[in-house]
Each structure stands twice: as C-alpha cells, then as structure tokens.
C-alpha cells in the first residue's frame, strides 16, 4: 500500500523527459496512478527488461470501479501507448509480473521505465471533427438530390420550349385573324359595290332610272 502511494506521488515525473523508473518484484502487481481531466490525450512509452522465466503485462485502467483496461500489452518489452481520457479521475498504470508456463528458473526483480505526455483536445479540433461528421449525411443528401435537379432542369427547358411554341402560334393566329378580318371587309365592300353596280345597270335597262 505504501509503494502504491509513493509511486502515485512520483508519477508527476512521468511528464518530464526521463519519466519514472521503479522496481517490480517477481509475481507481483505494481500500479501507479495519476489524476487526469476529461478530454486529455495521454501518450508515452514503457520499457521492461526481459527474463526467460517471467513475463510482464502492462495495463492502463480508467477511474471507474471494476472497469476494463483501456490499454493492454501482454509480455511487454519496449513500446508506446496512447489514449484519450473520457472522464475525470485517477488513471492507473499497472505492471503485472507472472511466471511463464513450462519454464523454470529463478525470478528476479525488474526495473521498469515509464514516460507520459499530455495534451488537450482543442475546441477547434473537436468542432472540425463534428463538422465533418455532420457534413457526411448532408453530402449524401445533396448527391441524392442531384438527379432530381437534372430532371427539373429538363422539365423547365421543355416548359420554355412549349411556351415559345404557344407564343409563336398565338402571334401567328392573331396575324391570320387580322388578315382574315381585312379580307372579309374588302370582300363585303366589293360584293356590295358589285350589287349596287348590277342593280343600277338593271334599272337603266328597264328605264326605271
């Protein structure tokens, strides 16, 4: 218990260039903890000396009680890790030393090295991510509307052509009606004149006029 408390204090050094080093006794579990806030990106490295008879498992646990590990490296040697904190609280970095099956030998204490760096998810990055996710369905909707827009363009073009034909027909009909009206009047006038001329001639022959 004292080792856990001490290592929890020392974990503040993880964010330095050297990180922290501590010993893990054979067949034991050694954890260190650090308080993080929601929205942090934590990344770092670990290094474990290898021995034939024992293996070391490296795990990172979130603050929630009985939660599963958010990072696991079985038979850890040299490696790196990264995770994003989804809640406030103490995150545990645990090294678990266990014997290898079918291998005999004398286990020894091993000194592990651990480093960590922290960063924050900036509002701009978060907004950009949300914006891209929101634009995806909008883009799909626009792609679905594209054929309908093309169909609408064709329909509008046909309507304009029909309107032009109707206008031409209307203008042509108006001209024809006007010509027909003038011709009708001329025919009536000519017919009336011919009738008057014919009647005058008839009356002259009968010596009525």
**pLDDT tens-place string over residues 5-55:** 345 444 444 555 568 999 999 999 999 999 999 999 999 999 999 999 999
Place of tokens 């029909």: 162
Contact predicate 56/111, CB 8 Å: no
CATH T-level assignment (fold) for domain 2-121: Jelly Rolls (2.60.120)
Cα four-point dihedral sign 85, 91, 93, 94: negative
First-last CA distance in the chain? 152
The predicted pLDDT at position 196 comes to: 83
Give the integer Cα–Cα distance in Å for 94 and 37.
Answer: 19
The predicted pLDDT at position 64 comes to: 92
The predicted pLDDT at position 135 comes to: 66
**pLDDT tens-place string over residues 109-158:** 999 999 998 887 665 544 455 556 666 666 777 777 778 888 888 888 88
The predicted pLDDT at position 62 comes to: 95
The predicted pLDDT at position 200 comes to: 80
Looking at per-residue confidence, does 193 or 69 come out higher? 69
**pLDDT tens-place string over residues 86-114:** 999 999 999 999 999 888 888 899 999 99
Looking at per-residue confidence, does 178 or 91 come out higher? 91
User: By 3-state DSSP, what share of the chain in percent is helix, strand and coil, each rounded to 5?
Assistant: 45, 30, 25
The predicted pLDDT at position 32 comes to: 92
Side by side, the strands of the sheet bearing 71-73 are: 29-36, 89-99, 54-61, 71-73
User: In this model, does residue 2 exceed pLDDT 50?
Assistant: no
Strand partners, 91: 34
Give the integer Cα–Cα distance in Å for 90 and 4.
Answer: 13
20: left (phi over 0), alpha (psi -120 to 50) or beta: beta
Give the integer Cα–Cα distance in Å for 5 and 15.
Answer: 18
The predicted pLDDT at position 122 comes to: 62
Tell me the residue length of the chain. 209
Cα four-point dihedral sign 81, 84, 90, 96: negative
Strand partners, 57: 96
The predicted pLDDT at position 164 comes to: 86
Mapped onto helix, strand or coil, the DSSP state of residue 45 is strand
Taking residues 176-203, report their average pLDDT: 85
The predicted pLDDT at position 54 comes to: 93
């Amino acid at each position: 218990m004292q080792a856990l408390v001490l290592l929890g204090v020392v974990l503040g050094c993880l964010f330095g260039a050297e990180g922290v080093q501590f010993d893990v006794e054979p067949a034991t579990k050694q954890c260190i903890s650090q308080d993080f806030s929601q929205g942090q990106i934590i990344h770092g490295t670990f290094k474990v000396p290898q021995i034939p008879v024992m293996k070391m498992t490296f795990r990172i646990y979130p603050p929630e009680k009985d939660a599963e590990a958010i990072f696991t490296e079985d038979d850890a040697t040299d490696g790196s890790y990264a995770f994003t904190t989804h809640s406030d609280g103490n995150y545990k970095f645990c090294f678990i030393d266990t014997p290898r099956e079918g291998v005999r030998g004398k286990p020894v204490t091993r000194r592990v090295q651990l480093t960590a760096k922290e960063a924050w998810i900036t509002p701009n990055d978060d907004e950009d991510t949300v914006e891209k996710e929101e634009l995806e369905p909008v883009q799909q909707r626009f792609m679905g509307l594209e054929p309908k827009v093309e169909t609408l363009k064709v329909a509008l073009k046909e309507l304009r052509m029909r309107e032009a034909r109707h206008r031409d027909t209307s203008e042509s009909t108006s001209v024809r009606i006007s010509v027909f009206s003038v011709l009708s009047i001329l025919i009536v006038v000519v017919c009336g004149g011919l009738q008057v001329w014919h009647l005058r001639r008839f009356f002259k022959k009968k010596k009525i006029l």
